[in-house]
Amino acid sequence: MTTRLLLNGKKASQEDIREAVYQLREQGHELEVRVTWEGGDFERLVKEAGEQGVTRLIAGGGDGTVNEVVDALIRYQLQHIELAVLPLGTANDFATASEIPTASPYDALLLALTGDATPIDAASANERHFINIATAGLARK
């Protein structure tokens, strides 16, 4: 299995993430890392992963990151790629609801590398796919 971490560039300098990646590699886990720099990078990186035979992606970031990766997976019809999450956001709603460890990057990455995939539903709105949150509101004048 080829596993690749797609890491939100805003989180790339976090030492605990680097330590977790190095520790897991030392334990024999194969883990590639790609970091985003600008808008559209997640879509491009997901498409490349599909072309390069990656079998599991780890979305490293918050709920927005997870939804960007999900949207690209569905857009490019890459149902054969499993998705895991390294929760690095403020709320981490999806990770918390899915019982993914949120306090330790090591624990979350270990689960992402060794856990079994479970199918989940995705929704779409305004031609964007998501698995976590959709909000709406009414404006008052």
| pLDDT value at residue 80 | 93
Looking at the predicted structure, is the pLDDT value of residue 141 above 80?
A: no
Q: pTM for this structure? A: 0.86
d(Cα 107, Cα 38) in Å, to the nearest integer? Answer: 28
| pLDDT value at residue 94 | 76
Q: Which residue type, as a one-letter code, is found at position 138? A: L
| pLDDT value at residue 75 | 92
- Say how many C-beta atoms besides its own lie within 10 A of residue 119's C-beta: 6
> What's the DSSP call for residue 10?
G
What are the pLDDT digits (tens) for 9-45? 999 999 999 999 999 999 999 999 999 999 999 999 9
51 vs 128, which has greater pLDDT?
A: 51
Buried b (16+ CB within 10 A) or exposed e, 14-32: eeebeebbeebeeeeeebe
| pLDDT value at residue 87 | 95
**Domains of the chain from N-terminus onward:** 3-130 (3.40.50.10330)
What are the pLDDT digits (tens) for 56-106? 999 999 888 988 999 999 999 999 999 999 999 888 887 777 788 889 999
Phi, psi dihedral angles at 32 (to 5 degrees): -90, 150
Name the pLDDT band for 122 (thresholds 50, 70, 90): low
